[in-house]
Structure 1
Amino acid sequence: MLVWALLSAVLWSVARVGALRSSLFSKKGFVYGSIENPVKIYVKLHQDSPILFCMDVNRASKETVDPTYLWIGPNENTLTENGQINLTKEGALIVKDFMESLSGLYTCTLSYKTIKAETQEETTIKKRYDFLIFVNPFAPGWKSVCNDSIDCEDATNRNILEARDRIEEFFRSQAYILYHHFNKTIPAMHFVDHSFQVVRIDNCRPGFGKNEGLHSNCASCCVVCSPGTFSPDADVTCQICVSVHTYGAKACP
């Protein structure tokens, strides 16, 4: 019996922004903020995050006078440029080589001015945008298995199903050859059509799990375990551990 082990996830790909079907995603690949709720984003392990834009869609369509941007990371410290953090003058943020420890809340405060036409009085407006970024477990080397397929999960599934069909055909051919050419010297071999099946096993790598309540928009995703939870094995559930304060914990200290 061939076992089909599948890690389900919704993956970020700048080239396939439209597939996410959200008004928060522009055609240029930006992910805009939202005033009402945090924007949840799922990033491949060791890949770059999407381009997070410190502005909502409505504000982006209007003139913004003297904008300034302040980004705060998961550790509640102000983000500055480094090897993993890329900040642009337009207020955009890209986190490179994303890891479990980089998961969490990213907050940006946009400050800009409004000017009354009658009095020329200036007023400073501030808006806060929250982005919750979670890493999923598609690690380096995954793309090479799929020959750089746009949808690696679909490509892997097709490869597994093709392997099943080839193994089934092998047994069918062997049964035919043994029966017609070697039936006098070798015991007969019988193959029952459709008796060979592929079984799907739902699992996540250690440090990851599924949580339909927390990730309702990505219920089938293997998502990094949040602080206060851990996953020591390939189960799909992050277990509770109050002493864990990091993302992606594999043990309860």
Structure 2
Amino acid sequence: MHLRSAGVLRVLYRTLWEGDLNVYVKVHTNSPFLVCMDLLLSQTEVIDPNYLWIGPDGQNLKGQSYVNLTETGKLMLLDFKEDMSGSYTCTLSYKVFQSDMKAEQERYKSYKFMVYAYREPDYTYRISVHFSTKECSLAANEQFFEELKKILNNLISYLTCQIIEPSFKCYSVKRPKHGLVDELFVVFQVNPFAPGWEVICHQVSTDCEDVTNSRVQKAQWLIEEFFNRQQHILQHEFKNLPAIHYIEHSFHVTRLDSCRPGFGKNDVTHNDCANCCVACDPGSYSPNNKLICLPCTSIRIKHYGAQSC
């Protein structure tokens, strides 16, 4: 069973189901309350309850600065970070009396929560567009491509976004009801990590995640609008088409996800948070902005969210 922390989900009970209860907490937020009691028991009278919460490092959580632990056994983890991920176990002890009050029993129940830090993925956008050209051997093709990169970078620079991995190739294309034409196939990515992005981000947000994705979405919209305007300009401002010009409706965009270092996606292990970037498990690491955590074979990594091996 898997549960993802959200604003409307504030209290989590264990049920009688014995599988692991996975809880996903977004970094730098507070977890929902984890309750040291199952739902069935919570609906009965519990006498002299006592709660012992143990964290992933084996330490008693009572009195720790990063927890909110109530007298009724509810645990909230504050400002959750990747290295706080792991198994949180609570042991509940309580008394049971016979009806004549002469016999007293001490009973114990244990509850386990697997708590993982996660981030939303960062977005980049891969964009492809086509331009008609007089011929593939035209020297102006390279010059046009270089100028196009400058224009697009200038367009989105105020968002601290940038064009990365730009490339183009020229092909002869036979389209329906037309003869052969030479076309430039241009591909590039819109990236939110231009120099200075961290300074801009941290002026607005501690974590930067939402700000980063908002910036790159705006950059993608600006570029899409730029190409949408090209056809209007060609139709209304040119009597004769330029040697190299945009092909209408050739704009295509694909969103590409990436995870911050120390995080990765695993649709099998974390299938209820499949789109989340979850802190790498002990024994694995992620040194870059790729989507997967890599196994570490040289040393034994014992903590979550490792960025190096």
- TM-score normalized by structure 1? 0.76
CA distance in 2, matches of 1:37, 1:63: 26
- The alignment partner of 1:129 has SS state of strand
- Report the equivalent of 2:22: 40
- The alignment partner of 1:172 has SS state of helix
Q: What's the RMSD between the two structures over aligned residues?
A: 2.7
- Report the equivalent of 2:207: 140
CA contact 2:15–2:40 (8 Å) conserved in 1:
no
CA distance in 1, matches of 2:243, 2:4: 50
1:8-43 Cα distance to aligned partner (Å, 9 max, x none): xx8522x232xxxxxxxxxxx211124512311111
- Report the equivalent of 1:63: 45
TM superposition shift of 1:123: 1.0
- Report the equivalent of 1:30: 11
- The alignment partner of 2:8 has SS state of helix
- Report the equivalent of 1:130: 112
2:305 aligns with one of 244, 248, 253: 248
The code of the aligned residue for 1:90 comes to T
- Report the equivalent of 1:149: none
Structure of greater Rg: 2
- Report the equivalent of 2:5: 12
CA distance in 2, matches of 1:215, 1:226: 11
- Report the equivalent of 1:114: 96
CA contact 1:38–1:129 (8 Å) conserved in 2:
no
**Higher percent of residues as strand:** 2
- Report the equivalent of 2:64: 82
The code of the aligned residue for 1:12 comes to S
CA contact 1:34–1:130 (8 Å) conserved in 2:
no
1:110-130 Cα distance to aligned partner (Å, 9 max, x none): 111111114542111100000
CA distance in 1, matches of 2:226, 2:247: 10
Structure 2 unmatched ranges of 5 or more: 121-205
1:153-200 Cα distance to aligned partner (Å, 9 max, x none): 8xx59x83x76565434333333234323436966744322x212212
Say which is worse superposed, 64-73 or 230-239, in terms of deviation: 230-239
1:216 aligns with one of 271, 281, 291: 271
TM superposition shift of 1:46: 1.3
CA distance in 1, matches of 2:267, 2:242: 54
- The alignment partner of 1:106 has SS state of strand
TM superposition shift of 1:107: 0.5
Runs of 4+ in structure 1 off by over 3 angstroms are 162-170, 184-191
1:199 aligns with one of 231, 246, 254: 254
CA contact 1:38–1:130 (8 Å) conserved in 2:
yes
TM superposition shift of 1:230: 1.0
The structure, 1 or 2, with the larger RCO (C-alpha pairs under 8 Å, 6+ apart) is 1
CA distance in 2, matches of 1:212, 1:187: 48
CA distance in 2, matches of 1:43, 1:131: 12
Assess, with a 3 A threshold, how the Cα gap between structure 1 residues 213 and 142 changes in structure 2: closer, same or farther. closer
- The alignment partner of 1:16 has SS state of coil
CA distance in 2, matches of 1:169, 1:231: 36
- Percent identical among aligned pairs is 39
Determine if the alignment matches structure 1 residue 226 to structure 2 residue 281: yes
The code of the aligned residue for 2:119 comes to P
CA distance in 1, matches of 2:5, 2:241: 58
Count residues in correspondence.
219
CA distance in 1, matches of 2:229, 2:267: 45
TM superposition shift of 1:215: 1.9
Structure 1 unmatched ranges of 5 or more: 1-9, 18-28, 147-152
- Pairwise mapping of residues 83-98 of structure 1 onto structure 2 (< 5 A)? 83-98=65-80
- TM-score normalized by structure 2? 0.63
